[in-house]
Amino acid sequence: MSLRDRAAIVGIGQLPFSKNIGRPEEVTALEAALLALDDAGLRPSDIDGMTKWSIQPTSENVIARNLGVPNLRFFGEVGYGGGGGCGVVGHAAAAIAAGMARCVLLYRSRNRGSGGRPWAGTSRERDNIAAETNETALFSPYGFVRPVDQVAMFARRFLHERGYTTRHLGWIAAACRRHAANNPVAMMREPITVEDHERSRFISDPLRLLDCCLETDGAAAVIVAAADMARDLRQKPAYIMAASQGMGPRNWIMNNFFKDPFLESPGAYAARDLWRMAGVGPKDVHVAQLYDAFTPLVLGSLEEYGFCAPGEAGAFVEDHGLEVGGRLPTNTSGGSLSEAYVHGINLIIEAARQIRGTSVNQVAGAKLSLVTSGNMVPTGALLLRGD
Amino acid sequence: MAESEFIRRTGGEDWVPYWAAARAHELRFQRCLDCGAWRHPPGPLCPQCRSSRSEWAKASGRARLLSWVVVHPPVLPAWKDRVPYPVVLVACDEGVRTIGGILGIGAEALRMDMPLVVDFAPSPDGDLVPHWRPA
């Protein structure tokens, strides 16, 4: 048994992204859920399951009781922050395929733009980090605690072994920004060049400001429904052709430096299972949303999901390969780097828009749409299919 | 959570012997008492043979440079006066990897795979922690 094509994304909703949304995460999650229900043409009483990111502070019972959902017969969550998003959708599809739910709501609301970061002189999220896991701050005596430091440590070795340069990272940032320029809700729309990237200040050398995603207040929701239900709803279904997760050996969150091969990410494992379930390969994909909390993650995903051989991702991005019109239009709403950073739920929504034909950077005739989650942590991937 | 607690939070109970050894100017890693495999970061079971019996054995202190970063602002208040500062990832002769500070060389002179030896220097709270310097 497989979950292939048994469920579809039928509803999407997101609030305008900002630096200060002005309302609690509980309220914005509810607002996003209402938008997704309206988009799908569903009522709260149609919802019988919920899945979420485990670091989402608003739990399912809060959402359910406020929406007036009479019963949830399936609920669950996926950990690992930005590694979790595709798994959150995948678990919804798995529950539907197993007959445990018919219509699953998932949501992510996050006040990170206004809520502050510990290294920005604010304290609120410091406690959240402590609650998430010790693993993210294994090396705090060295001042080695920020996600950007942990990615930079991986990235320097990765660039060195593959023969990539920081200019290749700049091409990724520029491609995302080019797409964001057409997206009225993207947080950063001013076009940038590779030279702008190379001039931006270091945050954690070799990574610069323009290698980093955007601290955002945002809220979004997605509804996944059984395929037979999806056909009768308001929107064109984005069928979940395949969903996978991967962790790999000896995993440590963000500080994932202790496994072998050193450069292999959990994405390599998620990729293998995704293509196996889908029965298609990277050559068949029309558009991709590759998790981009930091630019080096995209280079790794191009290799690990099989879009190019190890060492060839630099030429791929330099050749405008990520842009609409290129070999693999990627992060077509601007991604985490230029649209908003909400642990990848915006990437999932954009992947569904590409299947619907409603992206601001629509890839003509897109029928297979890939999404990946963060690959410095246990990760996942989704392949969406149109009719 | 107090600032000092954030500095010292280092992975939980499993790590206590690692930091305690450093205060005594020693680099020690966890080693399985049954199969002899080194492991780091530490944990309750040997991933090779599943034994729960382990010791904290003294390491050679020799390593090669696997990667490094140079941290720039914004940083936590305890590191504000130190930026920009390098942090290194080293591959130890025992086959384990760990993170540390670097002494006796500027970040601009670091080279991939250069040989390093362990040394000890204080973290911002004054406790000695493992650092590395050119061999």
> Which of A142, A159, A208, A260 would you mutate first to test chain B, the one with the most B CBs within 10 A?
A142
- Closest CA of chain A from B109, distance in Å: 14
Burial zone of B131 (CB within 10 Å; 0-12 exposed, 13-18 middle, 19+ buried): buried
Q: Model confidence over A37-90: pLDDT tens digits?
A: 999 999 999 999 999 999 898 999 999 999 999 999 999 999 999 999 999 999
**Interatomic CA distance for residues A289 and A82, integer angstroms:** 13
Q: What is the DSSP letter of A83?
A: G
What tokens appear for B16 in the block?
Answer: 């206590």
CATH number at residue A51: 3.40.47.10
Count of A-B CB contacts under 8 Å: 115
Structural domains counted in chain A: 1
What tokens appear for A275 in the block?
Answer: 């293509």
The answer as to whether A180 is a domain residue is: no
What is the average per-residue pLDDT within A337-345? 97
The answer as to whether A185 is a domain residue is: no
What chain B holds in terms of domains, given with CATH numbers, is 3-134 (2.40.50.840)
The answer as to whether A163 is a domain residue is: no
What tokens appear for A310 in the block?
Answer: 């190890």
Chain A touched by B11 (CB under 8 Å): yes
Q: Model confidence over A189-242: pLDDT tens digits?
A: 999 999 999 999 999 999 999 999 999 999 999 999 999 999 999 999 999 999
Contacts of B112 in chain A (CB under 8 A): 157, 160
What tokens appear for B128 in the block?
Answer: 């000695």
Q: At what angle do helices A345-356 and A85-97 cross, to 10 degrees?
A: 60
DSSP letter string, A316-378: HHHTTTTSTTSSS-B-TT-HHHHT-BSTTHHHHHHHHHHHHT--TTPPTT--EEEEE--SSSS
Are A141 and B72 in contact (CB < 8 Å)?
Answer: no
Contacts of A156 in chain B (CB under 8 A): 67-69
Residues 6 or more apart whose Cβ sits within 8 Å of residue B103:
B119, B121, B131, B132, B133
The answer as to whether A353 is a domain residue is: yes
Q: How confident is the model at residue A131 (pLDDT cuts 50, 70, 90)?
A: very low
Chain A touched by B80 (CB under 8 Å): no
Q: How confident is the model at residue A262 (pLDDT cuts 50, 70, 90)?
A: very high
Closest CB from A130, A160, A258 relative to B41: A258
Residues 6 or more apart whose Cβ sits within 8 Å of residue A146:
A119, A204, B71, B75
Q: Rounded mean pLDDT of chain A?
A: 94
Residues of A assigned a catalytic role: 291, 341
Q: How confident is the model at residue A266 (pLDDT cuts 50, 70, 90)?
A: very high
What tokens appear for A326 in the block?
Answer: 């290129």
pLDDT at A117: 64
Give yes or no for residue A1 having a pLDDT over 90. Answer: no
- Closest CA of chain A from B53, distance in Å: 19
Phi then psi for residue A266, to 5 deg, are -55, -20
Phi then psi for residue A334, to 5 deg, are 110, -15
Coil, strand or helix: which one is B40? coil
Q: Model confidence over A273-307: pLDDT tens digits?
A: 999 999 999 999 999 999 999 999 999 999 999 99
How far, in whole angstroms, is CA A113 from its chain's centroid?
17
Asked if A341 and A18 touch (Cβ cutoff 8 Å), the reply is: no
Q: Model confidence over B38-93: pLDDT tens digits?
A: 999 999 999 999 999 999 999 999 999 999 999 999 988 888 999 999 999 999 99
Q: Residue A250: which domain range?
A: 7-113+214-385
- What is the predicted ipTM? 0.95
Coil, strand or helix: which one is A71? coil
The answer as to whether A1 is a domain residue is: no
